[in-house]
Chain A
Amino acid sequence: MDFTYTETQDMIRDTLARFLADTYDFEKRKVMIASSAGRDAGIWSALATELGMLGAPFAEEHGGLGGGALENALIMEEMGKVIAIEPYLQTVVIGGGALKAVGGAVADAVIPGIIGGEVVIGFAYAEPQGRYDLANIRTSAKADGAGYVLNGHKGVVYAAPWATHLLVTARTGGGNRERAGVELFLIDANAKGITRRDYPTVDGSQASEIYFENVAIPGEALLPGGIDLIEKIVDEATVAVCAEATGVMEKLHQGTLDYSKQRTQFGQPIGRFQVLQHRMVDMFMEVEQARSMVLMATLKLDLPSAQRKAAVSACKSKVSKGANFVGQNAIQTHGGIGITQELAIGHYFKRATIIEGHFGSADYHLDRYEQLTLAE
């Protein structure tokens, strides 16, 4: 057993931290979010070309750094610390994860573009009726000659307004909620027949409702693997988002600690009040446990699917609860100033809140964990 990071991993973390501290200063973040594009595309290019960061989890033969899930977790945690809105999760973790899993010509064609920063991927999986069930989809992909025709509606697709490609889950057969027939497609985001309605999200990002109307796609767009592949990449993404959460939670905790030392009431720093001390200790313990769970789940991502799923669900339910606790108590301990847009703390709280439900709430994952591990 060895829990130490390699030199390369340490270097990735440090380089990225330095870069983000400058580019994602809170005021700059505000400006880019308020801009018409809702982001600063130059940051994504710099991550690719100046830092080589977008190649972290890819094989060297594709031009990557040869890493994997651990590197993704490191990077997501740093993103969390500055509440970055970069589409790393969607493009590198999810899109890249799917491409690595299927390999072959499509991987050779698209991965270099991801590493180079030219490709941005939106993951179109959720549907209004589906909640967190990946097989509860109605979007259809009907075989048509050598290709398929897509029809349907996907909701709340983060990063879609910036995307060059969409990774879409759709049904080639089977009834609503059936696992069989669910497939994954990588398609051109601007294909004919796709309409988008773009909007900002409460946590500072951009997302879209996407409507497919008789969108003709080639046969190679299907990434073979079905629901098993989709579950695997969503599990990887779930751990990545938990890693991001640890960064967000650390900042919520640290910001609260700092504030409690500066803010005086009744002639003393509020951090002297024991009830607040214990609360900040509880927050600290949630951050540490979140870190532990992310490490645990990351290291178990390659186990057989039942074990992998149980580990990921254990991680997500714990982290969702922790993010909830840490976020709410960070605001409470700040008092009135915590609920204003002025301070960064409230923006971390918003991101923590959305992460709570991302890829399934605490209860959803507790339920999945029970079903996998507590069969009668």
Chain B
Amino acid sequence: MQLEFSAEELAFQQEVRTFIAENYPQELRGKQDEGDELAKEDFLAWHKVLYNKGWVAPAWPVEYGGTGWTATQRFIWSEETARADCIRLMPFGLAMVGPVIYTFGTPEQKAKFLPRILSGEDWWCQGYSEPGSGSDLASLRTMAVQDGSDYVVNGQKTWTTMAQHADWGFFLVRTDKEAKQQEGISFLLVDMKSPGITVRPIITLGGEHEVNEVWLEDVRVPVENRVYEENKGWTCAKFLLAHERTGIAGVASSKRGVDKIKSIARAEQDGDKPLIANAFFKRKIAELEIDLTALEFTELRSLAGANAGKGPGPESSLLKIKGSEIQQRLTELALEAVGHYGAPYFRGFGEGDNEHPIGPDYAHRAAPTYFNTRKTTIYGGSNEIQRNIIAKMVLGL
């Protein structure tokens, strides 16, 4: 066992740093520094750079376009991208449906979809949750009835992130009403431009438009777009949920978040000293950093297990719980740090509106970000559900 990187690993780290420094899109950097909301093109700009380099999907098997990196190299990669404050690519294609397709898909599905996920040509969304089925996902009611070579799909999905921009969606639908809940569900790939799909925005607390309602009315989906067997969609869903949870720990980006808090606390005045000298505030940062270290080494242990051939198990729930709590605490500290200047509501730079936001630059998104980040303990399987999983699967209760 050892903590230090080897000479080759250090060389790799250097290579990654240089690559990011030379290739990260400048316009994107500018927008991030201004705290602007990012558009689809912004995500695609970085995606394209990585695609051209062949680094867009480090976690995928090499035969499908992965990098063949070791777990340590992947760790270095996520550390370095976070350190350089690179945006995180949208997970729906690369981290979610991609792995499902290369694990469960037909050769035709792999050939059709995987290259377009890698290139960024297709933008994906996840159609699982329904108004009546959130935590209890298996109770979902959107129906798919076979008619010739198509399924005809009817129902409503909700909370569908980025559906307004998506070319494709992966949906869980009911194909057998009589079977036990989990056994009557299938996994469908749906062209979001199909007739019968309506996407309506849901505006969240910080004023963002990131989630949507998706209505499906007699939407025809070719049977060949079903992944894996009919009524076996739950197998794909479970596989994917475990994948979703590991990514959600977000250690590297939280480290970057801690750095940002420190720089805010150095800039903010508290009496005749910077806020970072305030004993209460300093202690909160220290506690957060210690909790983050505990999370990091728990994740590293889990990665080591995955390297040894054990897939991500129920312990990934631990990473999700602790990771999401830390993300929330970061936003809470940022809001506390900016004091009075958390209150002004800055609507963003509209067309022709170049008025500067109120207060320091780091302040004007603090409150909306705090409000919005309440989501991390709700989505991806709420933290209550994750605790239920640990109680049952790990503790045997």
B84 at the A interface (CB under 8 A)? no
B234 at the A interface (CB under 8 A)? no
Q: How far is A267 from B135 in the complex, measured between Cα atoms in Å? A: 11
Nearest 4 A/B pairs, CB to CB: A363-B280, A265-B136, A156-B340, A202-B367
Nearest Cβ on chain B to A133's Cβ, whole angstroms: 6
Would A354 and B135 be within 8 Å (CB), given that A177-B272, A336-B379, A346-B371 are in contact? no
A129 at the B interface (CB under 8 A)? yes
Q: How far is A203 from B343 in the complex, measured between Cα atoms in Å? A: 7
User: Which residues from chain B sit less than 8 Å from chain A, CB to CB?
Assistant: 129, 132-136, 139, 158-159, 202-205, 207, 211, 268-272, 275, 278, 280-281, 335-336, 339-347, 358-359, 367-368, 370-372, 374-375, 377-379, 382-384, 387
Q: How far is A177 from B273 in the complex, measured between Cα atoms in Å? A: 12
User: Which residues from chain A sit less than 8 Å from chain B, CB to CB?
Assistant: 126, 128-133, 136, 155-156, 158, 177, 197, 199-203, 207, 209, 264-267, 273, 275-276, 328, 331-332, 335-336, 338-342, 346, 349-350, 353-354, 357, 361, 363, 366-367
Q: How far is A276 from B368 in the complex, measured between Cα atoms in Å? A: 26
Q: Which listed residue, A266, A275, A338, A357, touches B387 by the CB 8 Å rule?
A: A275
Q: Are B387 and A336 in contact (CB under 8 A)?
A: no
Q: Which residues of A contact B335 (CB under 8 A)?
A: 353, 357
Q: Which residues of B contact A130 (CB under 8 A)?
A: 269
Number of A-B contacts (CB under 8 A): 131
Would A207 and B384 be within 8 Å (CB), given that A332-B377, A339-B374, A363-B281 are in contact? no
Residue of A128, A346, A349 ringed by the most chain B CB atoms within 10 A: A128
Q: Are A336 and B367 in contact (CB under 8 A)?
A: no
Q: Which residues of A contact B374 (CB under 8 A)?
A: 328, 331-332, 338-339, 349
Q: Are B270 and A202 in contact (CB under 8 A)?
A: no
Would A131 and B339 be within 8 Å (CB), given that A177-B271, A265-B134 are in contact? yes
Q: Which residues of B contact A335 (CB under 8 A)?
A: 134-135, 378, 382
Q: Are A336 and B340 in contact (CB under 8 A)?
A: no
Residue of B211, B340, B344 ringed by the most chain A CB atoms within 10 A: B340
Sample of 6 A–B contacts (CB below 8 Å): A199-B358, A207-B343, A266-B136, A331-B378, A336-B375, A339-B204
Residue of B203, B207, B344 ringed by the most chain A CB atoms within 10 A: B344
Nearest Cβ on chain B to A139's Cβ, whole angstroms: 15
Q: Are A366 and B280 in contact (CB under 8 A)?
A: yes
Q: Are B358 and A341 in contact (CB under 8 A)?
A: no
Q: Which listed residue, B205, B211, B268, touches A350 by the CB 8 Å rule?
A: B205
Q: Are B345 and A199 in contact (CB under 8 A)?
A: yes
